[in-house]
Every structure is written in structure tokens, then in C-alpha cells.
Amino acid sequence: MIDLNTLTIVSARAKLDAKEFSAVQLAQGYLDEIKKKNGELNAYLEVYDDVLEQAKVADDMIAKGESYPLLGIPLAIKDVILIKGRRVSAASKMLENYVASYDATVITKLKKQGAIFLGRTNTDEFAMGGSTENSAYGVTKNPHDVSRVAGGSSGGSVVAVAANLALGALGSDTGGSVREPAAFCGIVGFKPTYGRVSRYGLIAMGSSLDCIGPIAKNVEDAKIIFNAVDGQDFLDSTSITDTTYQKVSLKKVIGVPFDLVNGEGVSKEVKESFNQSIKKLETIGFTIKDITLKNLDAALATYYIIMPAEASTNLSRFDGVRYGLHKDGKNLLEDYMLSKASGFGKEVRRRILLGTYVLSHGYYDAYYRKAQNVRSALKKEFIKAFDDVDVIITPTVPFVAWKIGEKNDPVSVYLADIFTVTANIVGIPAISIPSGNILTEGKKLPLGIQFMAPHGREDLLFEIGNKFEAL
């Protein structure tokens, strides 16, 4: 019997290579857990029917003496990442039966390592949301309290790892969509520097913000997945190499924007937990420095102008003509209108409308251009701040996971992103690491702490993250 509770990618790799169990046995263990729990949690939209065949191939590779960090490791893939020959729906009726015609670059890299794909996981429709309540295929539930949201939009991938339905996973992060659910479910979520992981084969939401990121039980496992999928890709013109970033030693100084952390909307319990985390970091020799980022309070508003603008442009391709849902009307315009009205859910339509509005004549300068100016100012402020500190930390989320259906006002849901959107706006790497629990209505609900580092300094996040995790 394999103990999935204590298993990590590192320990599984050692046990697979030592023949303590086979890849088939490991995969079967996860399939059994999925069968037992997924009906309630709704983490997977589809479990692939060839999982054991994939595992047999991995066992053959191991028998030949091959060993890669992810060989035989069962992973879950968010339903916005293309795997050739498999359905990918972005949790939308618009793409309900769409079958991918090619592999995303991250999938090509994982296949080369012999990773096992268990299935595709639930998400907010087209990754638009922070709770996975916006899926066309039902809500994903938090394993710590099934009456609460898992977070989003990568809720399915996060719950798969948190509930032992996968050993690791891939999600996408446009404004916190990997980190926020990771915090709500008590695991690690990592967003790399923009461009460090290819977006080729990722269904786009906000093209200047989107990042594919690892989801794992601990920092070391997240690092292993990241190392497997990062690197420049000629199929993605925005991808970058890491050779331009000079590695320097730690200053042992951590920056905290206390004016944001102590602001309105952040729960008392979150502030107390964060202060405890600060004390832990001080015990291992870090100095805490209060930093001021003048435009930080405008980050959320900036994000909710840029992201819908890019999303409305990206989603214009789903017109019911070339692929996806099609409804017949009296003419081409009515075809478009009927197809989009039937295919897109409420939140997606809201963001398309908002994005189209801020890009329209007469409002482009008033909103979109102004948001881009704030973005440029924020980038400069972060570059300057990192001259004096190694990393910047905040809570990952301002409150614990809310009850399913509790937040009917979209603005109150958007406020959950207050700490996470900035890393996407300025393109820097960020990681959420479990930082404790809050007892709420008899349930221990997890919280996370977020570490942000300069461009290309994922190594800093892994180094400091490992130190924090060990406290």
C-alpha cells in the first residue's frame, strides 16, 4: 500500500528507481483515490482512459535504466493546456467537444520525461475567476471544507494535489490563479517570470499576463516541475532565457509593503498569521524592511482594465465558425450572436463587455492607456525596491476561502486578488507557500504567504521558500 499522504515527487522518484513500487501501482493508487473522492470534489473534468498504459511505458523506461525527475510521476493538467488528441474545453460550453490538434510546449517537455497525465482539471471558464465557481461543469470544492470554494481559476489542479488525486499539477496564473487556490487549499503554487515558461498551447486569456505554473505539495517538488517545463521556445515570441540574470548572494533583507498588508479588506486573522510568519523569518536571520510602492494601491484596478481588454481580444476568435459551439441564425451576424450567447457563461460575457468598453473609441485613453502607464510606473518601482531587498512578501490572500455561492457581487471576488495581481502586472516570479491555518466553524482553513522576487530570480524563491518551509 502506497502512502499518498506523505508521498512527494522526490520520494516517489527514489522509490520508483529502487523498484519499491512500479509506475503502474503508483498510477493505480491515484486512480483509486480519484474514484473515491472526485464525485464530491469535482477536481477532474475527465480522467484519461489510458493512464495505466502510460504507466507501463514509464515502467519499461525505468527497467532500461532511464531516470528523469518526472518519469512515472502522475500529474494533473488544467483544462486550458492542449494535449494532442485529447479534449480541452477551458471549462466552457463553447469548447465542450474540442479536441486539441497539437501539444502545448510544456506537454511536449513532460512527455519527454515520461510523466503520466491523469486527466484534465476543472477551472473557471476560460480561466476567468478566483473560485472555480464559474465553470460550465460545476464548482470544485475545497477538500478542507466542501462547503467552501477551492479558489481559482486553477482550482481543479490545486484540489487534485491537495486531496491526493495527483502528485503534482500544472495550472495557469494570470492574476493569481495558481497562487490563490494553493493558499486556500494549503499547498504550494508557483508563478514564474513572464516568458520563462512557453505559453504555446495555452488557451489565452490575458496574453501579457498569462503564465503556466507548477502546483505541488512542497517547494522542492514545484522546483522540479518548473525545471522540467521552463526554457526559451521559438514557438512563443515572448519566451525568454535565464542567461541575462546575474545571480547574486542574499542580502538577507525582506521587503514588506505594510501599508497594503494593514489596509482595509484584509482580515484580522490573516494579518496575525502574516505577522507570525515575519517573526519566523527573523529567527533565521532575515531583516524586515518596510517598503512603500506608490502605485501599489492602483494595481488591482490596473489589472481589471488590462486583463479584460486582452481577454476580449483573445476570445473574439471563438465565433462558432471554425471550431467550437455553433448555432444557426438567419445570417452570419446572428450566427455569431447565438453561438457566443450560448457558449459563453456570465463571467466571461462580463469581462468581454468590460474589455471591449475600455478599448473602444473615446475610452481607450481614459482607461486602457492610463492603466498601461501605471503598469510601467509599477515596474520601475519594483526594480528600485529590489535594489535593497531580496524578496517582497505579503499574504497570498486577504481572507480564508469563502462559502460556495456566498460572494454574488463580482467586485468582492476580485478583491481576493489584491496581493497576487501585481506580480503578473510587472512580470516577476512569485510563490505561495502554506503559512498556517485559521479555525473557522470547526474546520482548519489554510492560509498562504507570498514571496515575490526580481525578474528571472526563481532561484531566490526556491532558496528562501525552502528555508521558510523548514521552520
Q: Of all helices (H) and strands (E), which one includes residue 13? A: helix 9-17
> What angle in degrees, to the nearest 10, is found between the helix axes of 23-41 and 51-63?
150
Which of the residues 22, 89, 131, 177 is marked catalytic? 177
Q: Active site includes 273?
A: no
Of the CA atoms within 13 Å of residue 318, those in its CB half-sphere come to: 29
Give me the residue label for grid cell 448555432: 327
Which of the residues 78, 109, 141, 223 is marked catalytic? 78
Q: Active site includes 111?
A: no
User: By C-alpha distance, which of 85, 166, 54, 71 is closest to 121?
Assistant: 166
Confirm if 185 and 428 have CB atoms less than 8 A apart. Answer: no
| Beta-carbon contacts of residue 20 (< 8 Å; ≥ 6 apart) | none
Cα 24 to Cα 56: distance, rounded to the nearest angstrom:
6
* Cell numbers that stand for 22 in this block: 512500479
DSSP per residue, 364-416: IIIIIIHHHHHHHHHHHHHHHHTTT-SEEEEES-SSPPPBTT---SHHHHHGG
User: By C-alpha distance, which of 230, 248, 247 is closest to 239?
Assistant: 230
Which of the residues 22, 131, 153, 277 is marked catalytic? 153
Give me the residue label for grid cell 491526493: 164
DSSP per residue, 291-309: ---TTGGGHHHHHHHHHHH
Q: In what order do the strands lie in the sheet with 168-173?
A: 44-47, 116-121, 74-78, 168-173, 211-216, 188-191, 430-440, 443-452, 391-395, 253-256, 287-290
Provide the sign of the torsion angle of the four alpha carbons 8, 13, 15, 19, taken in this order: positive
Going from the C-alpha of 254 to that of each of 277, 284, 287, 447, the distances in angstroms are 12, 12, 6, 20
3-state DSSP call for residue 99? strand
| Beta-carbon contacts of residue 194 (< 8 Å; ≥ 6 apart) | 208, 209, 211, 238, 424, 427, 428
Cα 129 to Cα 231: distance, rounded to the nearest angstrom:
28
At residue 191, what is the residue type? K
10 Å Cβ neighbour count for 248? 10
Q: Active site includes 360?
A: no
Catalytic positions, written as ranges: 78, 153, 177
